Structure formats: C-alpha cells, structure tokens
Amino acid sequence: MSLQTSYRFIAPFYDAFLKRATAAQRQRSLARLPLQSSRVLLSGAGTGLDFPFLPAGHDYTALDLTRAMLARSRERARELSMEWVQGDSMTLPFSDESFDCVVLHLIVAVVPEPSRCLAEAARVLKPGGRILLFDKFLRHGERAWLRRGLSPLVAQMATRLDVVFEDVLATTPDLRVLADEPALAGGWFRLIELLKESR
C-alpha cells in the first residue's frame, strides 16, 4: 500500500491519535519561526495540526501528498495567509531558494527516503534560512531492536521507526544544527533547528 493511499484512509483518524499528544511540542518548535514577515513552507502539513500555533504575518504554503489531508487542514487556517499545494516532500514543486523557513513536522521519518526529503527542504530554503524539525529519530549506535524490527511493516502503513537523524543530516552538508532537544518518549522524538549556511 502506498503512503498516499494509506494516509487517505488515515486522515479522518489522524487527529484523534496525534492532536493532544503533540500539541505542546509543535508549539515549542514553531516558537522559533522568524519574527519578521517570511515565506514559510510546511512540508507534509497533514491535517493542519501546526496551524493553531502559527503566528500571523507570514506567507505560508502547506504541502501534503494527499488531497484528503489538505482538505481537513483548510478548516484550521483561520486568518492565516495560506496557500495549499498537493505534492511530494521528496520532490518539492518549488524553485531553489524560495522560502525563508521550512517546517518538517512528523514527515522526515514518514517518507521512504528521509535524505531526499531533507535535501529538498534545503534546496528550496534561502541561505541563512532555518528548518524546524519535530520527529522520531534513533541515535547512532542505538540498538532499538523492536523499533528496527517493526519498521519495515509499519512503514508500509504510516511511518518508519528506524531513521537515524545524523545519517540523514550527513547527506546535506550545507545544513548546520543550531538546536537539538528531546521532546517525547524519552528523547525518541526530538525538536531540531537547522541553519542553511551561506555559500
């Protein structure tokens, strides 16, 4: 089953599983958005669970693979300046250096190729821009046999459980870690802020 198909079925139940559990961490992450008016991409925006924590004054683009998720997200847009785009986080339909900030909440560990997802975010980000991540990542050398063992099965329906963030980051050398904080589940979920360095 493709992710597009599985998330079309998951969309009606997505909020029940994630809204309350992730709200505080989403708010913590989005508090790092720029103060000045900026173009912000929410790549893998899902049902818009980030939207209540987005400050006005920015121009937002919400991208998701499935029309069902985007349709649900429209209900949360409030008075935000928001554009909706159906597209793939691993092949973003935007030109290079189009955004001042990219938000990657619970998407890098979902897509089949996390490195492509991060590389695409970096490509469309302006030099000096920031990437805000909230996701579950294993650490180097962490055995986590159960998570690794279940990952091939769970990845077919919803998300990967075996992504090592440091391995993903190593494939995109123009990104530098500004912050890396534990979030949920004993630090399995992390809040990470990245800077795209000027060439």
pLDDT at 94: 98
Question: Which two structure tokens, joined as six digits, stand for 18?
Answer: 């994630």
- Please give the DSSP secondary-structure letter assigned to residue 18: H
pLDDT average, residue stretch 167-177:
95
Tens of pLDDT, residue by residue over 86-136, are 999 999 999 999 999 999 999 998 898 999 999 999 999 999 999 999 998
pLDDT at 168: 95
pLDDT at 77: 86
Tens of pLDDT, residue by residue over 42-100, are 999 999 999 999 999 999 999 999 898 899 899 888 889 999 999 999 999 999 999 99
End-to-end CA distance of the chain: give it in Å, rounded. Answer: 41
pLDDT average, residue stretch 157-168:
75
Task: Give me the domains of the chain, ranges plus CATH numbers.
Answer: 3-196 (3.40.50.150)
What's the rounded Cα separation, in Å, for the pair 39 and 37?
7
Its pTM stands at 0.84
What's the rounded Cα separation, in Å, for the pair 111 and 52?
24
